[in-house]
Amino acid sequence: MPRHDIIRIKNATFYAYHGAISEEQNLGGKFEVDVDLRCDLSEAMESDSLKRTVNYEAVYSLIEKIVTSKKYYLIEALANSIANGILKEFSVIGHITVRVRKPHPSVKGVVDYVEAEVSHTRG
């Protein structure tokens, strides 16, 4: 029976230049990212070895690179790029969920944040 252990990175925060409005792409803003990495961690738990798990520092670095290296119009496109990049880089991950939040978005109203969530399963 496959295991569904989870490593989570919560609220990784970056300053970047994403948005559909030109001011957002010129002035930039804060973006928050959560990832849930589902994989079998039994060998890591038994051995207590970093070599047998997902190095979350390396995952964070990849997220930072994706968030800060290219402008996206849509946060869902950004979330998709993060999910695809992590699955490509870390073969032990079987399923990933990525949430990208834009705090205080440019809408006509009071909103704490807008969030897009994508989930991918290794096929």
Q: For residue 49, give the amino acid letter.
A: S
Q: Could you tell me which of 5, 7, 10, 8 has the C-alpha nearest to residue 115?
A: 10
95-109 residue pLDDT tens: 999 999 999 988 889
CA distance 123 to 66: 22
Report how far residue 115's alpha carbon sits from residue 84's, in angstroms, rounded to the nearest whole number. 18
Of 3-7, 31-35, 79-83, 84-88, the range with the lowest mean pLDDT is: 3-7
Q: Which of 30, 71, 88, 102 is catalytic?
A: 102
Predicted TM-score of the model (pTM): 0.94
- Average pLDDT of the chain, as a whole number: 95
**pLDDT band at residue 2 under the 50/70/90 scheme:** low
How far apart, in Å, do the first and last CA atoms of the chain sit? 17
51 is catalytic: no
Show the domains of the chain with their CATH numbers. Answer: 5-121 (3.30.1130.10)
pLDDT at 107: 85
Cα separation values, 21 from 17, 72, 73, 80, 88, Å: 10, 11, 8, 20, 30
CA 108 to chain CA centroid, nearest Å: 27
